Amino acid sequence: MPPTGPGRTSNAGRTAFARPRAATLARALAAFLAWVPAGASRGAAPSAAQAPADTAGLTLGERLPVVERTLPNGMRLLVLERRGAPTAAFVVQFRVGSVNETLGSTGIAHMLEHMLFKGTTTVGTRNLEAELAFFPRMDTLADSIRRLRAPPRPDTVRAARLEARLRALEDSARAWVEPNEFDRILSDHGARGLNASTDYESTSYYVELPSNRLELWFALEADRMRNPVFREFYTERDVVAEERRLRVESQPGGLLYETHMAAAFTMHPYGVPVVGYMPDIRNLTRPQVEAYYRRYYGARSAVVAIVGNVDADEVLALADRYFAELPAGEEP
DSSP letters for 38-61: GGG---SPPPGGGS-S--TTS-HH
Examine the pLDDT at 8 and tell me if it is beyond 50.
Answer: no
- What's the predicted TM-score (pTM) here? 0.85
More confident residue, 29 or 155: 155
Q: State what percent of residues in the chain have pLDDT above 70.
A: 83
Domain co-membership, 107 together with 37: yes
**What's the confidence (pLDDT) of residue 64?**
87
Task: Assess contact for 306 and 75: CB atoms under 8 A.
Answer: no
Distance CA 63, CA 60 (A): 5
More confident residue, 25 or 210: 210
Looking at residues 132-154, what average pLDDT do you find?
A: 96
Looking at residues 229-238, what average pLDDT do you find?
A: 98
**What's the confidence (pLDDT) of residue 32?**
55
Distance CA 204, CA 202 (A): 7
Looking at residues 210-222, what average pLDDT do you find?
A: 98
310 lies in some domain: yes
**What's the confidence (pLDDT) of residue 47?**
42
Domain co-membership, 192 together with 99: yes
Flag the least confident range among 1-15, 151-165, 249-263.
1-15
**What's the confidence (pLDDT) of residue 31?**
62
State how far the alpha carbon of 33 is from the alpha carbons of 11, 44, 66, 298, in Å.
Answer: 24, 13, 11, 16
State how far the alpha carbon of 234 is from the alpha carbons of 58, 87, 88, 167, 254, in Å.
Answer: 50, 36, 34, 8, 25
Examine the pLDDT at 63 and tell me if it is beyond 90.
Answer: no
Contacts of 102 (CB under 8 A, 6+ apart): none
Return the amino acid letter for 58. Answer: L
Looking at residues 287-299, what average pLDDT do you find?
A: 96
Q: How far apart are the first and last CA of the chain?
A: 26
**What's the confidence (pLDDT) of residue 24?**
66
Q: 302-308 and 76-81 as β-strands: parallel, antiparallel, unpaired?
A: parallel
Categorize the per-residue pLDDT at 28 as very low, low, confident or very high, splitting at 50, 70 and 90.
low
Distance CA 159, CA 141 (A): 9
Domain co-membership, 167 together with 49: no
Distance CA 328, CA 332 (A): 11
306 backbone dihedrals φ, ψ, rounded to 5°: -130, 125
Task: Assess contact for 162 and 168: CB atoms under 8 A.
Answer: no
Looking at residues 321-331, what average pLDDT do you find?
A: 93
Task: Assess contact for 198 and 5: CB atoms under 8 A.
Answer: yes
Domain co-membership, 150 together with 198: no
Looking at residues 293-313, what average pLDDT do you find?
A: 96
**What's the confidence (pLDDT) of residue 62?**
75
What is the H or E stretch that residue 90 is in?
Answer: strand 87-94
State how far the alpha carbon of 197 is from the alpha carbons of 114, 194, 226, 292, in Å.
Answer: 9, 11, 20, 17
**What's the confidence (pLDDT) of residue 49?**
37
Instruction: Point out the domain boundary residue: 176, 197, 214.
Output: 176
More confident residue, 286 or 1: 286
Categorize the per-residue pLDDT at 168 as very low, low, confident or very high, splitting at 50, 70 and 90.
very high
300 backbone dihedrals φ, ψ, rounded to 5°: -70, -15
**What's the confidence (pLDDT) of residue 200?**
97
Q: 168 lies in which domain range?
A: 126-176
**What's the confidence (pLDDT) of residue 318?**
98
Neighbours of 94 (CB within 10 A): 28
pLDDT digits (tens, 9 = 90+) for 169-188: 999 999 999 999 999 999 99
Domain co-membership, 164 together with 195: no
Angle, alpha carbons 226-297-10 (nearest 5°): 95
Domain co-membership, 82 together with 32: yes
Instruction: Point out the domain boundary residue: 176, 204, 239.
Output: 176
Looking at residues 33-53, what average pLDDT do you find?
A: 45
Examine the pLDDT at 10 and tell me if it is beyond 90.
Answer: no
pLDDT digits (tens, 9 = 90+) for 82-103: 999 999 999 999 999 999 999 9
Categorize the per-residue pLDDT at 58 as very low, low, confident or very high, splitting at 50, 70 and 90.
confident
Domain co-membership, 209 together with 92: yes
Taking all residues of the chain, what is their mean pLDDT, rounded to a whole number?
A: 88
Looking at residues 255-264, what average pLDDT do you find?
A: 97
**What's the confidence (pLDDT) of residue 326?**
97
Domain co-membership, 134 together with 231: no
Domain co-membership, 52 together with 192: yes
Distance CA 152, CA 176 (A): 39
Angle, alpha carbons 28-182-330 (nearest 5°): 55
Domain co-membership, 34 together with 159: no
Domain co-membership, 87 together with 134: no
**What's the confidence (pLDDT) of residue 104?**
95
The CATH number that applies at residue 108 is 3.30.830.10
Distance CA 29, CA 123 (A): 29
Q: Quick one: 44 exposed, middle or buried, by C-beta within 10 A (0-12, 13-18, 19+)?
A: middle
**What's the confidence (pLDDT) of residue 61?**
73
Instruction: Point out the domain boundary residue: 150, 176, 202.
Output: 176
**What's the confidence (pLDDT) of residue 5?**
39
